[in-house]
Amino acid sequence: MAGFPKDFFWGGATAANQYEGGWNEGGRGLAATDVTTGATKDSPRRRTYVMPDGTTGATSAMGQQIPKGAKSCVLDGYYYPNHKGTDFYHHYKEDIALFAEMGFKMFRMSIAWPRIYPHANDEKPNQEGLDFYHKVFAELRKYDIEPLVTISHYDDPLTIDEEFGGWENREIIDFYCKYAETLFNEYKDEVKYWLTFNENNCETMSVQYVPNLPIERQQSAYKKLHNKFVASAKVVKYAHEHFPEFKVGCMVAGVFTYPLTCDPKDVIANMENMQNFFYYAGDVQARGYYPGFAKRIWDRVGLDAEYFNKDAEILREGKVDFFTYSYYSTSCQTSHKGAKRDGGGNLSLGYYNEYIKYSEWGWGMDPDGLRYSLNEIYDRYQIPVMVVENGLGALDTLEEDGSIHDQYRIEYMREHVKAMEQAIDDGVELLAYTPWGCIDLVSASTGEMRKRYGMIYVDMDDEGKGSMDRYRKDSFYWYKKCIASNGEDLD
């Protein structure tokens, strides 16, 4: 095998909402994640709110909405894990030094939109927020680590939903463009690689997740996603016109599935699922136009093609330079009644696959699926690809002597690194691997700390208690060796 290219970007990935903390410092505004409580894998995260008459409450953040007239807010008596994350805000120097020790060439992070424009529509950006990221980029530069910056990763300013009616309102496109243009101009000498939105295909996942979702909410999901496509395309176009040295990518949640059986009806069920939840978003952003099957989706939810086609020109002009996705797991699709939908994974419900193993959180672990998905993506889009999230969420034990023996994580990563090497051998132009939560951080789906992905352990529990000290796990040393040998030494 030819192996990894010599300029391959080995690294790690994080997001401000789950890692940065400092939620009420430095002039930062509130994000939706700041009013979302912690949970467990069996109970949903909740959004807390207050009614005009002062009564308060909490509703499932998964698929439900707060009552009409209510305002989302932070309430006493609830725990909000994203407030503190694992405190990159105050530990960035120490953390970046640890990333450098592992040999990182790239660090994926996101900028917290409410730290730059606290209310989304502010006239001027928040200088303290801008300064914070200058300090972070300077620190990365010190160690020759290339930043890969996600412009929006699950932390829209809260005002977008609460005051401006959410992404269905086209005004939000302008707010987003202003925010992104501010970042481009401010950090033009510090950042070259950008991602417009994290996993924007999540917008329509509720159609799959929430049983009997009312048709208006299904329509709304597709409209919001469309406006995000338009916002992304505008920003890509702006970058190409003003900063030709920039590379701007999309980021799609890698919800890959297989037919449960070779029944042709299962193959069709799987085809539709992949189209609906993955290729729909990938095609628009990488090819610059909606695929043919989009019409089937719009017809099903009762939306007129004109709603989408009016923006055809801007979508065409805003094609991304490279394709990125998250890859954790795969699951299966079937048309057979009675099959159990118990083979889920990241952001996907699916049927159980007896040929793969499952994690403690029930996510299917499938390194071959990584090779398969890389081939599918590269063959379809013919632009460079990055795997910008991957990893195993698991329970870790901090031993008395400060060691953490996470052999299970090493095994997971080893097999996925091998799969990437095979994909490169298949001809895929793979630029980067930034495994998720390279340092422990708050889980997006459950808000837990115990679901850890890191190669660096952070001493903090599900209630936010702990010293916040950082410890090197066994996987830290393994990954360091892997990077130093450019993916050759995987023992």
**Catalytic residue positions, numbered:** 199, 389
User: Residue 254 or 318: which CB sits closer to ligand BGP?
Assistant: 254
Spatial distance between the Cα atoms of 4 and 306, rounded to a whole number of angstroms: 45
| Distance of closest approach, residue 254 Cβ to ligand BGP, in angstroms | 9
Question: Binding to ligand BGP by residue 373, rule CB under 6 A?
Answer: no
Report how far apart, in Å, the C-alpha atoms of 327 and of each of 57, 154, 378, 416 are: 35, 17, 15, 10
User: Residue 106 or 444: which CB sits closer to ligand BGP?
Assistant: 444
* Backbone phi and psi for residue 470, each to the nearest 5 degrees, phi listed first: -105, 140
- Residues numbered 143 to 202 that lie near ligand BGP (CB under 6 A) are 198-199
Q: Which x/- pattern, by CB under 6 A, does the window 416-445 give for ligand BGP?
A: --------------------x------xxx
User: Residue 34 or 389: which CB sits closer to ligand BGP?
Assistant: 389
| Distance of closest approach, residue 203 Cβ to ligand BGP, in angstroms | 13
| Distance of closest approach, residue 360 Cβ to ligand BGP, in angstroms | 11
Choosing from 200, 285, 326, 390, the residue that interacts with ligand BGP (CB under 6 A) is 326
Spatial distance between the Cα atoms of 288 and 473, rounded to a whole number of angstroms: 42
* Backbone phi and psi for residue 441, each to the nearest 5 degrees, phi listed first: -150, 180
User: Residue 198 or 373: which CB sits closer to ligand BGP?
Assistant: 198
Find out whether 138 and 93 touch, Cβ atoms under 8 Å: no
Of residues 395, 382, 388, the one with CA closest to residue 370: 388
Question: Binding to ligand BGP by residue 86, rule CB under 6 A?
Answer: no
User: Residue 22 or 288: which CB sits closer to ligand BGP?
Assistant: 22
| Distance of closest approach, residue 276 Cβ to ligand BGP, in angstroms | 17
| Distance of closest approach, residue 421 Cβ to ligand BGP, in angstroms | 23
Choosing from 72, 346, 373, 390, the residue that interacts with ligand BGP (CB under 6 A) is 346
User: Residue 15 or 455: which CB sits closer to ligand BGP?
Assistant: 15
User: Residue 250 or 314: which CB sits closer to ligand BGP?
Assistant: 250
Q: Is 335 exposed, middle or buried (0-12, 13-18, 19+ CB in 10 A)?
A: middle
Half-sphere exposure of 116 (CA within 13 A, CB side): 24
Size of the site for ligand BGP (CB under 6 A): 15
Spatial distance between the Cα atoms of 388 and 374, rounded to a whole number of angstroms: 12
C-beta pairs of 191-194 under 8 Å, 24+ apart in sequence: 191/137, 191/147, 191/149, 192/146, 192/245, 192/246, 192/247, 193/106, 193/146, 193/147, 193/148, 193/149, 193/246, 193/247, 193/249, 194/148, 194/149, 194/150, 194/151, 194/239, 194/246, 194/247, 194/248, 194/249
Choosing from 35, 347, 377, 449, the residue that interacts with ligand BGP (CB under 6 A) is 347
Choosing from 248, 253, 356, 420, the residue that interacts with ligand BGP (CB under 6 A) is 253
State the Cα angle at 278 between 323 and 421, rounded to 5°.
50
Question: Binding to ligand BGP by residue 451, rule CB under 6 A?
Answer: yes
Per DSSP, what are the bridge partners of residue 386?
324, 432
R_g (Cα) of the chain, nearest Å? 21
Choosing from 343, 350, 393, 487, the residue that interacts with ligand BGP (CB under 6 A) is 393
Task: Mention every residue, 6+ apart, whose C-beta is less than 8 A from residue 140.
Answer: 96, 107, 146, 147
User: Residue 46 or 237: which CB sits closer to ligand BGP?
Assistant: 46
Spatial distance between the Cα atoms of 298 and 276, rounded to a whole number of angstroms: 11
Find out whether 341 and 350 touch, Cβ atoms under 8 Å: yes
| Distance of closest approach, residue 68 Cβ to ligand BGP, in angstroms | 29
**Total residue count of the chain as it appears in this document:** 491
Query: By three-state DSSP, how is residue 12 classified?
Result: strand
| Distance of closest approach, residue 363 Cβ to ligand BGP, in angstroms | 8
| Distance of closest approach, residue 75 Cβ to ligand BGP, in angstroms | 23
Instruction: State the residues that interact with ligand BGP by CB under 6 A.
Output: 15, 18, 198-199, 253, 326, 346-347, 389, 393, 436, 443-445, 451
